[in-house]
Amino acid sequence: MKHFDLIVIGTGLAGLTAARTAAEAGARVLIAGRGMGALTLFGNTIDLLGEIPPETDIEEGILRWIGAHPEHPYARTGMEGIETALSEFQRLFPPPYSFAAEGRRNALFPTGAGTMRPSYLIPVTMAAGAAMTPGETLIVGFRGFKDFQGDTVSLHLKCRGMNIALPRYGLEGMTALALARLMDEASFRERLGETIRRQMGGERFIGLPAVLGLRNPAAVLKTLENTTGARVFEIPMLPPSIPGTRVFHRFREELIAKNVTVLMGHPVTGATVRDQRCEGIAVQNPPLTAEYRADQYILATGRFLGGGLSAGMDRIVEPLFQIPVFQPGQREAWFGKRFFDPEAHPIHHAGIATDADLRPVDGTGNVVLENVRAAGSILAHHQAIEEKSREGIDIATGFLAATRALAS
Partner 1 sequence: MDLRTEVLIIGGGATGAGIARDLALRGIPSLLVEKGDFTSGASGRNQGLLHSGARYAVNDPDAARECIAENRILRQIAPHCIEPTDGLFVSLPEDGSEYRANFIRACGNAGIDALPLSAREALSLEPRLNPRLIGAVRVPDGAIDPFMLVVENVRDAESRGARFLIHTEVTGLIREGPRIAGAHVRDRITGQSYAVAANWVVNATGAWANLILAMAGLQIGLALSKGSMLLTNTRLSERVLNRCRPPSSGDIIVPNDTVSILGTTSVREEDLERYEVTAEEVTFLVDELSKMVPDVKGERFNRAYAGVRPLLRSAETSDDRDISRGFSLIDHEQETGLAGLVTITGGKLMTYRLMAEKTVDFLCSRMGLHVPCITHRQPLPGAGLGNTLKDRLLHLRRQTPASRGEILCDCELVPREAVDAILREGKVRELQDILHRTRLAKGTCQGGFCVYRLLGLLNELHGEREKGGSNVILRGFLEERWKGIRPILWGTALKEEELIESIYKGLFNLAPGGPEQTERVNE
Segment interacting with partner 1 (CB under 8 A) among 48-56, 89-97, 176-184, 365-373 = 48-56
Mark 359-378 with x for binding to partner 1 (rule: CB under 8 A) and - for no binding: --------------------
- In DSSP terms, 107 is beta-bridged to 119
Residue from 1, 172, 286, 407 touching partner 1 (CB under 8 A): that is: 172
Give percent helix, percent strand, percent coil of the chain, each to the nearest 5.
35, 25, 40
- Please, what's the b/e burial string for 89-116 (b: 16 or more CB within 10 A of its CB; e: otherwise)? beebbeeebbbebbeebbbebbbbebee
Residue from 57, 194, 341, 355 touching partner 1 (CB under 8 A): that is: 341
Helix axes 13-24 and 242-257, enclosed angle (nearest 10)? 30
What's the first-to-final CA gap in the chain, in angstroms? 23
Q: Say how many residues touch partner 1, by CB under 8 A.
A: 60
Mark 86-125 with x for binding to partner 1 (rule: CB under 8 A) and - for no binding: ----------------------x--xxxxxxxx-------
Q: Does 38 bind partner 1 (CB under 8 A)?
A: yes
The helix/strand/coil state of 93 is coil
Q: Which residues contact 255 (CB under 8 A, 6 or more apart)?
A: 16, 19, 20, 23, 29, 31, 262
Q: How far is the CB of 227 from partner 1 (least distance, A)?
A: 27
Q: How far is the CB of 29 from partner 1 (least distance, A)?
A: 28
Rg (CA), the chain: 22
Q: Does 134 bind partner 1 (CB under 8 A)?
A: yes
- The Cα angle at residue 16 between residues 10 and 20, in degrees rounded to 5: 135
The CA distance from 104 to 87, in Å, is 13
Mark 225-264 with x for binding to partner 1 (rule: CB under 8 A) and - for no binding: -----------x-xx-------------------------
Which DSSP letter does residue 384 get?
I
Q: How far is the CB of 112 from partner 1 (least distance, A)?
A: 7
Handedness of CA 213, 216, 221, 224 (dihedral sign): negative
Q: Does 37 bind partner 1 (CB under 8 A)?
A: no
Mark 385-404 with x for binding to partner 1 (rule: CB under 8 A) and - for no binding: xx-x-x--------------
Residues numbered 264 to 323 that lie near partner 1 (CB under 8 A) are: 303-305, 310-313
By CB under 8 A, name the binding residues for partner 1: 38, 41-42, 44, 50, 54-55, 108, 111-118, 130, 133-134, 144, 146-147, 149, 151-152, 155-158, 170-172, 236, 238-239, 303-305, 310-313, 330-332, 334-335, 337-342, 345, 347, 384-386, 388, 390
